[in-house]
Structure 1
Amino acid sequence: MATTADVRAELASLADPHRAAASSRFLQMTPGGYAEGDRAIGVSVPQQRTVAARYWRDLPLSATADLLAGDVHEERLTALFVLVRKFARGDEQARGQIFDIVLANTDRIDNWDLVDSSAPYIVGPWLLDKDRGVLDRLAASTLVWDRRIAIMATFAFIRAGDFQWTFRLGDQLLRDPHDLVQKAVGWMLREVGNRDRAAEERFLAGRYQVMPRVMLRYAIEKFEPRRRRMYLTGMA
């Protein structure tokens, strides 16, 4: 049976100080950044996925949760890659346990890459056929990562042709002050539009003039240039 120490040792063996410095800048772990205080050791995402693929079967959920609690960014992302694999192949009981682990550790899922690697593949899929009220709670949280988790979880609903919760949370987060939430809302609206442009534009009507500019730009990124200009100039 694999242990947390096994995974940590393998990640440490792949560490690259130059990549760590670049990751720290890119993910804003530097002073004043939204992830200030986090620590990268410089393991690439493909390498982390390879490690997760090697260990996911033999790493117990308890050990994976310990890895998610670690202070190294790559350890937490690798833990999430393991959980996503376990969730996709698990039975209902295992999937529920994995969902609970994620929800209990949202303070450790504390960067956009961690959120985006887990919320659409664990939180959203678990809630497809269940009460989704937890998303309202997450969207109302003071923790930016909770709010991003909430809207990113709706990606699973969008893939299933259900846009209601994307619009519901989009309204709740319409004036969110954090650009990482603004971008996520715009991204999910764009995904709705990729499937049903009319539905997206019905949501934008009456809202696009008050939503943050970055949210709007993400939402209309795939629109034709003329239509995009109309939204950006307030003439849609």
Structure 2
Amino acid sequence: MSALEIKNKLIALGSPERANHSAYFFKTAEGEYGYGDKFIGCTVPETRSVANKYPDLPLSENKKLLEDELHECRLCALVILTHQFKKANEIVKYEILNYYLANTIHINNWDLVDVSSYKIVGEWLKNREDRSLLYQLAESELLWDQRIAVISTLTFIRNNDFNDTLELSEMFLTHQHDLMHKACGWMLREVGKRDEAVLLHFLNKHAAIMPRTMLRYSIEKFPDELRKYYLSYRQIGKQVEGTRIQNEQVFRTK
């Protein structure tokens, strides 16, 4: 039971054509968020199938997979980890949580975050009053830590607990990266599925200044007329902000 054995099984399932597509899809060109990542073209179901055969992989071997240059190896490591966390007692869960948090630099694409964060960080914090960990992650300079913070709240949302999702989404209203706009918009949409009034209240307060992608993701399931209303609401907000900035510039020149 070793990382090398798992890696070889994944490589055997690879496809150069799919690898090229994945490299494009996950933005691996220079200057893009996935720059330098390497793929072998193994599908997610295939990767999960391999992961399912190694439920007892030691963390020492998992770490070798998680540090591997191949994206599918890191994905496989995280799938194994989420399975282990679900079945573990509190002591082992805490060990897995700390291992996960210590290695977020290797959880370095949105799919890796999305497959693991709410199943580990979210589940750990679900019934705990102290969720300061989320805000430590949110204040990190690492993009992937920030995304982990937001996506982890999916577990809370599924238990009709929305406060942290709303607070983090408000924190990230001025974030510059599209991946965070998408993450917040997705979580807000999930809130709206369970309590539309909560989402509408958030939108009425923030839609005028929300990044367009965040807004579009959050209102994706709305009827056409309501979606158009909030998109126009944002446009008006942009015009008002533009006028304010222009007035300030005129004032400074006087």
TM-score, length-normalised on structure 2?
Answer: 0.89
Give the Cα separation in 2 of the matches to 1:7 and 1:33.
29
Give the Cα separation in 2 of the matches to 1:13 and 1:157.
38
1:171 equivalent in structure 2 = 170
% same residue? 45
Structure 2 SS opposite 1:206: helix
Q: Give the Å deviation of 1:126.
A: 0.7
1:219 equivalent in structure 2 = 218
1:6 equivalent in structure 2 = 5
Which shifted more, 107-116 or 2-11? 2-11
2:65 corresponds to which of 64, 67, 70: 67
Give the Cα separation in 1 of the matches to 2:4 and 2:181.
37
- The aligned length equals 234
Q: Specify the structure having the higher radius of gyration (Cα).
A: 2
Alignment pair present for 1:46 and 2:26: no
Segments ≥4 residues shifted beyond 6 Å: none
Q: Give the Å deviation of 1:195.
A: 0.1
Q: Give the Å deviation of 1:199.
A: 0.7
Alignment pair present for 1:24 and 2:15: no
Matched AA of 2:52: A
Structure 1 SS opposite 2:167: helix
Give the Cα separation in 1 of the matches to 2:13 and 2:179.
29
Q: Give the Å deviation of 1:92.
A: 0.9
Structure 2 SS opposite 1:215: helix
Structure 2 SS opposite 1:191: helix
2:202 equivalent in structure 1 = 203
Give the Cα separation in 2 of the matches to 1:132 and 1:30.
36
Give the Cα separation in 1 of the matches to 2:55 and 2:18.
25
Give the structure with the higher percent helix. 2
Structure 1 SS opposite 2:29: coil
Q: Is there any run of 5+ residues in structure 2 with no aligned partner, and where?
A: 237-254
Report Cα offsets for 1:126-185 as digits up to 9, x if no partner.
111232111111111221111111100000000111001001111111111100000010
Report Cα offsets for 1:60-114 as digits up to 9, x if no partner.
1221122111111000000000001111111111111111111111111110100
Q: Give the Å deviation of 1:5.
A: 1.3
Q: Give the Å deviation of 1:31.
A: 2.2
Q: Give the Å deviation of 1:30.
A: 2.1
Q: RMSD over aligned Cα, in angstroms? A: 1.3
Q: Give the Å deviation of 1:11.
A: 1.1
1:85 corresponds to which of 53, 78, 83: 83
Q: Give the Å deviation of 1:18.
A: 1.2
Q: Is there any run of 5+ residues in structure 1 with no aligned partner, and where?
A: none
Give the Cα separation in 1 of the matches to 2:143 and 2:110.
10
2:143 equivalent in structure 1 = 144
Which shifted more, 128-137 or 118-127? 128-137
1:100 corresponds to which of 75, 95, 98: 98
Matched AA of 1:124: G
TM-score, length-normalised on structure 1?
Answer: 0.96
2:122 equivalent in structure 1 = 124
